[in-house]
Amino acid sequence: MKKYISTFLFSMLALVSLNAQKKSNPQLLKLYRNYLSIKSSLASDDHKKTSTAAEEFLKTASTINSKVINEKNLLSIKTDAKSISQAKTIDAQRKSFYKLSDVMIDLAKENKVSDKTIFVQYCPMAKGSWLSNEKQIVNPYYGKSMLDCGSVKSEIK
């Protein structure tokens, strides 16, 4: 009986260890980098650059299948990226960035999308969160007018 219990415990520890070591997917790594480009462009108040970054994000998202990201989230990020790329104003782009960020935060929590620590940041004025690869706040919702508004809410390792 002791042998079975110790075998069971060893198996459970091995499973926990495997789950803790999420493997990175090259497509998700690229998607996250594209997301950061959108965020940076919004923070610099650059409408045209944001559109271009969103188009690149959409291209990457189009290479990902529902085995990597569930169909609902995949459709959502594609829709949001398309809205950002086609928006006529930076304010409209920022509006779509809210939803895109929410889905990307969930993806980052469930999958390894970066080899570095990811910071989940939040702006109380905008009531919105976003991902960053650095602790320093660079607010995509207000850009230069309130660039450092916000705080780090959590870290994803």
Whether residue 12 has pLDDT greater than 80: no
Token pair for 20: 């803790």
Most confident of 3-7, 68-72, 109-113, 136-140: 136-140
In a domain, 38, yes or no: yes
- Judge whether residue 45 has pLDDT over 50: yes
Say if 51 falls within a structural domain: yes
Neighbours of 85 (CB within 10 A): 19
In a domain, 103, yes or no: yes
Q: Which domain holds residue 58?
A: 25-156
Measure the CA dihedral 117/62/71/107, to 10°.
Answer: 10
pLDDT band at 1 (very low <50, low <70, confident <90, very high): low
Q: 6 lies in a domain? A: no
* Beta pairing partners, 155: 119
The strand pairing partners of 123, in sequence order, are: 128
Identify residue 36 by its one-letter amino acid code. L
Token pair 């980052």 in the structure block, residue: 108
pLDDT in tens, 67-97: 888 999 999 999 999 999 999 999 999 999 9
pLDDT for 109: 95
Q: How far is residue 121's CA from residue 129's CA, in Å, rounded to a whole number?
A: 5
Residue 4 lies in a domain: no
7 in a structural domain: no
Q: What is the pTM of this model?
A: 0.84
- Is 90 part of a structural domain of the chain? yes
Number of domains in the chain: 1
Q: Is residue 17 part of a domain?
A: no
